[in-house]
Amino acid sequence: MTVQNNGTAQGGVELAPDDALDMLTKASSVALERLTDFLAIPSISTDPAYHEACLDAARWSAETLRNIGFEATVEPTDGKPMVVARWRAANGGRPRPHVLFYGHYDVQPPDPLEAWSAPPFEAQIVEHPTHGKVIVARGASDDKGQVMTFIEACRAWIDSTGTLPVDVTILLEGEEESGSPSLEPFLQAHGDNLKADIALVCDTSQWDAETPAITAFLRGLAFSELTLKGPSRDLHSGIYGGPAQNPIRALGELIAGLHDDTGRITIPGFYDDVAEPSNEQREAWRALNFDGAGFLGEVGLSVPAGETDRSIVEQLWSRPTIEVNGIIGGYTGPGTKTVIPAEASAKFSFRLVPRQDPGKVIEGLHRYVAERLPADVTASFQGEGGSPAVGFDTNAPAFRATARALEAEWGKPPVIVGCGASIPIVEAFRTRLGMDALLVGFALEDDAIHSPNEKYNLSSFERGARSWVRILSALGGSSAEA
Amino acid sequence: MTVQNNGTAQGGVELAPDDALDMLTKASSVALERLTDFLAIPSISTDPAYHEACLDAARWSAETLRNIGFEATVEPTDGKPMVVARWRAANGGRPRPHVLFYGHYDVQPPDPLEAWSAPPFEAQIVEHPTHGKVIVARGASDDKGQVMTFIEACRAWIDSTGTLPVDVTILLEGEEESGSPSLEPFLQAHGDNLKADIALVCDTSQWDAETPAITAFLRGLAFSELTLKGPSRDLHSGIYGGPAQNPIRALGELIAGLHDDTGRITIPGFYDDVAEPSNEQREAWRALNFDGAGFLGEVGLSVPAGETDRSIVEQLWSRPTIEVNGIIGGYTGPGTKTVIPAEASAKFSFRLVPRQDPGKVIEGLHRYVAERLPADVTASFQGEGGSPAVGFDTNAPAFRATARALEAEWGKPPVIVGCGASIPIVEAFRTRLGMDALLVGFALEDDAIHSPNEKYNLSSFERGARSWVRILSALGGSSAEA
């Protein structure tokens, strides 16, 4: 091994062990064999017929980690088990940095099977038209391939240096693709054993094939269901049509009024706590040349429907929204029924940005409805809740160290991206364990996760693992030769 | 008998046989016994358990009509049978006026039984706080009591004069309370035997206990179901919320835009063919002092929601409407699902006034939607149809003769009223038999039809029958002493 000093490269890049980096490049075929073995286990968590396969995937993961030198156990839950693995250095009792890595060993169902060009659990290496070699299988990208980038990085560190630069706990879940019902209870019961300085989550995307990314903004959520009641019973539209108030019409008017002509939300006080992105941030996002046409085109759309004075990236990463997620009222069966219904209801949800309080936002909705409610219509709300947005401190030492490590591997700084949605595991780590997360992923948008012919670029696999070697170094403050 | 001449009283009221009128007043207790027998038959057409009772009611009606001198048969259908009865004068081959009377022998279910003060099929004569004596039973008003006003009138005419002033066909249906599935096929098969100069329908209301009414305007109907499609699939509102078009929002905006601030419908060309009521007509309606507060209050409303510059009566009888009868889109199950749905749909129906063409109105809706549809949303329509409004010529001789006959009985002219809804039998007579109808009813709004403790005023029963004696005279152009 060639570790040269034990200090942090001040103001520079913390150096990772060259041997470890080399190993990942040279031994990539062996690493691919291990990934292929992992991918061969059809660990479809949502389908009870594959319960045993999920147990196999958990046992395979634990065994693989034990082979590297981790203490690894398969911990039962009410659903699929958790894999918990630990690597602790003998450090003379002195505390070392400690990271918790999170990933999942379960996969989406492969349906429709006939759309696959090869059996989904028999990984194929094929030449991709633009990405070079890729591995095709269910789970190749989401999340087995990504999990293995981290495990291979640990293996390379340990194999080349005999140690890891930080204490590492690994938590692999088996229900990520089926709603994670066991996760919260497990964190509640075992949180003390899992809590680390920071969580590393490898389940997001790079910016593009040549550019890494760290996800630093996650929008929050607030939700509410509104029921409007008008007449005391369903009315015959012939007898009452005209003078009788129709709650569907009232609901339509409330929905229509939620946005002004510029797409701005009209709820009183809605933007009070919304911070504008800095000009610097805006400029950085502009420089990304985000492919808005491609983003919308993939789902059959072409014209951004949000605030007219904001780019798509701004809309998604820095602006709150309200959506109607569902609506129902009156007669919805086949044919015609000339009824003026007694009630109608709609489910609303908000995406929030940092500093917005979900409770205050919901109060704003109540106020909006109360102010606009027509005569003879009453409103009631139910099923309300939410969680605030997450904005990680991009100036925190761990964040900056990770960014530098990624830059060292990729030759350019990572793009700091937002995510329009909350990621439940991040929320759970914050709520249950009081722990921030670093979201560094090596998937690509065109990996076709959850779709037929899911693939993972071999370059993402190798450079992902190399990135983790460097990130672990950076987080540990250890260094190796350049 | 005291018939004095055989000509029409020119310019005046055609006189009815005094004996017949007297008989109805004097023999009212016997007539009440017959009605009580009819009411004792639980002919609930919607409940298969009462099928035999429906047959009983049909047989009872035919037998009663035969006793008076009609040729009466019970005609099978795929559902409940029709009662068809005929009375034809030997008139030396000369054609005589011919009327088709329509009523129904079936009744609504009496539920909730516990809300009745006496068994619903054991008619009770009780003293009503404002109406004097009333008969309480299911069907007392709707429609057995009303049917019997006509049958008793025929009986009195024949008993006192040996004849009827017009040829009469009576059609009694047994499925009016369950959607009349057999009516159209029956009219199609037997129309030639039923067609008369005019139909008399006795299933509507008086204006009030002292004032008769003729229903002369029935709104038409047009209907359409609109489906909006946005994204090519349901989207995650976190990932797409903001830039992605939400079809529920688009639908809300379309619904909200259908009416302007004055409640006027904004569909292009919608009012082109709508005739304004004459000032005279408006004045007559104003003079009715229609109890709008009571009308709305009964269904939990207080503020008329229609065109702000129109009275409730105008809105109901002379103005077209559009209503959303049903709406559905996105997630409508329990709890929350943060989806931006791929589609949303709504059912619309219009109430039309005379001269509006249902097809043209639906085209207008298509145009309205096309003009306002936001980018990336497509609209499709299905399940469309309709029927035009009916406005009877209030100057037609039969209409004027009937009005004069009612005035002779009640001491004041009938109120010419509209009905917000179409009445299927009227539409069927027009479409299938090319025959107009005179809608003269002797029910009252407070008869509690379809509700517990349905009642019928004995005064309505007696004066209804007396009214028919006079109307038959008037339509026959025959006269009797005053």
Please indicate if any CB of chain A lies within 8 Å of the CB of B449.
Answer: no
pLDDT tens, position by position, B41-54: 999 999 999 999 99
Please indicate if any CB of chain B lies within 8 Å of the CB of A223.
Answer: yes
**Mutation choice for A interface testing from B205, B235, B245, B377 by most A CBs within 10 A:** B245
* CA closest to A233 among chain B residues: B299
Q: Are residues B407 and B329 in the same domain?
A: no
Rounded CA-CA distance B35/B442 in Å is 15
Report which of B350, B195, B214 is spatially closest to residue B273, judged by C-alpha positions: B350
Among B299, B321, B419, the residue with its CB nearest the CB of A232 is: B299
Q: Are residues B382 and B453 in the same domain?
A: no
Q: Which two tokens stand for residue A143?
A: 């999340």
Q: What local confidence, expressed as pLDDT, does residue A480 receive?
A: 32
Q: Are residues A72 and A149 in the same domain?
A: yes
Q: Which of residues 258-317 of B touch A (CB under 8 A)?
A: 258-259, 292, 295-296, 299-307, 312, 315-316
Q: What local confidence, expressed as pLDDT, does residue B275 receive?
A: 85
* CA closest to B305 among chain A residues: A243
Rounded CA-CA distance A33/A157 in Å is 19
Chain B CB contacts of A254 below 8 Å: 252
CA A408, distance to chain mean position in Å, is 25
DSSP single-letter state for residue A117: S
CATH of the domain at A335: 3.30.70.360
Residue B312 in contact with residue A243, Cβ under 8 Å? yes
Among B241, B256, B335, the residue with its CB nearest the CB of A323 is: B241
The residues near B378 (Cβ < 8 Å, ≥ 6 apart) are B228, B229
DSSP single-letter state for residue B208: B
ipTM of the complex: 0.78
pLDDT tens, position by position, A265-274: 999 999 999 9
Among B292, B301, B376, the residue with its CB nearest the CB of A245 is: B301
Chain B CB contacts of A302 below 8 Å: 375-376
Q: Is residue B279 part of a domain?
A: no
pLDDT tens, position by position, A22-53: 999 887 889 999 999 999 999 999 999 999 99
Among B237, B257, B326, the residue with its CB nearest the CB of A325 is: B237
Q: Is residue A202 part of a domain?
A: yes
DSSP string, B401-447: HHHHHHHHHHSSPPEEEEESS--HHHHHHHHHH---EEEE--B-GGG
Report which of A355, A331, A357, A327 is spatially closest to residue A258, judged by C-alpha positions: A327
Instruction: Single out the residue in B354, B387, B420 at which a domain terminates.
Output: B387
* pLDDT tens, chain B, 482 aa long: 333 333 333 444 567 789 999 999 887 889 999 999 999 999 999 999 999 999 999 999 999 999 999 999 999 999 999 999 999 987 777 788 999 999 999 999 998 888 899 999 999 999 999 999 999 999 999 999 999 999 999 999 999 999 999 999 999 999 998 888 999 999 999 999 999 999 999 999 999 999 999 999 888 899 999 999 999 988 888 889 999 999 999 999 999 999 999 999 999 999 999 988 888 888 888 888 899 999 999 899 999 999 999 999 999 988 999 999 999 999 998 888 888 999 999 999 999 998 899 999 999 999 999 999 999 999 999 999 888 898 888 889 999 999 999 999 999 999 999 888 778 789 889 888 999 999 999 999 889 888 889 999 999 999 999 999 999 999 998 433 22
Q: Are residues A332 and A256 in the same domain?
A: yes
* CA closest to B338 among chain A residues: A325
Q: Is residue B303 part of a domain?
A: no
Among B325, B344, B385, the residue with its CB nearest the CB of A331 is: B325
Taking an 8 Å cut-off on Cβ atoms, the answer to whether B319 and A242 are in contact is yes
Report which of B200, B226, B247, B204 is spatially closest to residue B475, judged by C-alpha positions: B200
The residues near A134 (Cβ < 8 Å, ≥ 6 apart) are A125, A126, A127, A128, A140, A455, A456, A457, A458
DSSP string, A334-375: SS---EE-SEEEEEEEEEE-TT--HHHHHHHHHHHHHHHPPT
Instruction: Single out the residue in B332, B359, B387 at which a domain terminates.
Output: B387
* pLDDT tens, chain A, 482 aa long: 333 333 333 444 567 789 999 999 887 889 999 999 999 999 999 999 999 999 999 999 999 999 999 999 999 999 999 999 999 987 777 788 999 999 999 999 998 888 899 999 999 999 999 999 999 999 999 999 999 999 999 999 999 999 999 999 999 999 998 888 999 999 999 999 999 999 999 999 999 999 999 999 888 899 999 999 999 988 888 889 999 999 999 999 999 999 999 999 999 999 999 988 888 888 888 888 899 999 999 899 999 999 999 999 999 988 999 999 999 999 998 888 888 999 999 999 999 998 899 999 999 999 999 999 999 999 999 999 888 898 888 889 999 999 999 999 999 999 999 888 778 789 889 888 999 999 999 999 889 888 889 999 999 999 999 999 999 999 998 433 22
Q: Is residue B96 part of a domain?
A: yes
- Other Cβ atoms less than 10 A from the Cβ of A427: the count is 18
Q: Is residue B130 part of a domain?
A: yes
Taking an 8 Å cut-off on Cβ atoms, the answer to whether B243 and A339 are in contact is no
Rounded CA-CA distance A268/A363 in Å is 9
Taking an 8 Å cut-off on Cβ atoms, the answer to whether A301 and B244 are in contact is yes
Q: Is residue A2 part of a domain?
A: no
Residue B464 in contact with residue B456, Cβ under 8 Å? no
Please indicate if any CB of chain A lies within 8 Å of the CB of B246.
Answer: yes
Q: Are residues B111 and B259 in the same domain?
A: no
Please indicate if any CB of chain B lies within 8 Å of the CB of A413.
Answer: no
Instruction: Single out the residue in A335, A359, A387 at which a domain terminates.
Output: A387
Rounded CA-CA distance A43/A97 in Å is 33
Q: How big is the A-B interface in CB pairs under 8 Å?
A: 297
Please indicate if any CB of chain B lies within 8 Å of the CB of A381.
Answer: no
Name the region of A278 (left: φ>0; alpha: ψ -120 to 50; beta: rest): beta
Q: Are residues B345 and B201 in the same domain?
A: no
Taking an 8 Å cut-off on Cβ atoms, the answer to whether B299 and A327 are in contact is no
Q: Which residues of B128-157 are buried (b: 16+ CB within 10 A; e: fewer)?
A: eeebeebbbbbbbbbbbbbbbbbbbbbbbb
The boundaries of the domain holding residue A341 are: 220-274+320-387
- The CA–CA distances, whole Å, from B351 to A177, A477, B418 equal 50, 77, 13
Q: What is the dihedral of CA A310, A315, A319, A323, to 10 degrees?
A: 120
- Angle (CA) B31-B36-B40 rounded to 5° is 150
Chain B CB contacts of A334 below 8 Å: 383
Q: Are residues B208 and B230 in the same domain?
A: no
Q: What local confidence, expressed as pLDDT, does residue A300 receive?
A: 95
Instruction: At B174, give phi and psi (nearest 5°).
Output: -115, 15
Chain B CB contacts of A241 below 8 Å: 219, 316, 321, 323, 351, 420
CA distance to partner chain A, nearest, from residue B314 (Å): 9
The residues near A304 (Cβ < 8 Å, ≥ 6 apart) are A292, A296, A312, A315, B242, B243
Taking an 8 Å cut-off on Cβ atoms, the answer to whether B305 and A246 are in contact is yes
CATH of the domain at B438: 3.40.630.10
Q: Are residues A446 and A355 in the same domain?
A: no
Among A244, A299, A316, the residue with its CB nearest the CB of B299 is: A244
Q: Are residues A333 and A472 in the same domain?
A: no
Residue A345 in contact with residue A381, Cβ under 8 Å? no
Q: What local confidence, expressed as pLDDT, does residue A6 receive?
A: 35
Q: Is residue A282 part of a domain?
A: no
Q: What local confidence, expressed as pLDDT, does residue A259 receive?
A: 97
CA distance to partner chain B, nearest, from residue A365 (Å): 16
The residues near B27 (Cβ < 8 Å, ≥ 6 apart) are B156
Rounded CA-CA distance B23/B14 in Å is 19
Q: Is the dihedral of CA B304, B309, B311, B314 positive or negative?
A: negative
Q: Are residues A27 and A175 in the same domain?
A: yes
The structure tokens 């003379």 sit at: A92
Strands (E) in B254-377, as ranges, are 321-330, 339-340, 343-352
Q: Is residue A281 part of a domain?
A: no
Q: Are residues A202 and A230 in the same domain?
A: no
Strand partners of residue B71: B86
In chain B, how many domains are there?
2
Among B292, B299, B329, the residue with its CB nearest the CB of A326 is: B329
Q: Are residues A206 and A328 in the same domain?
A: no
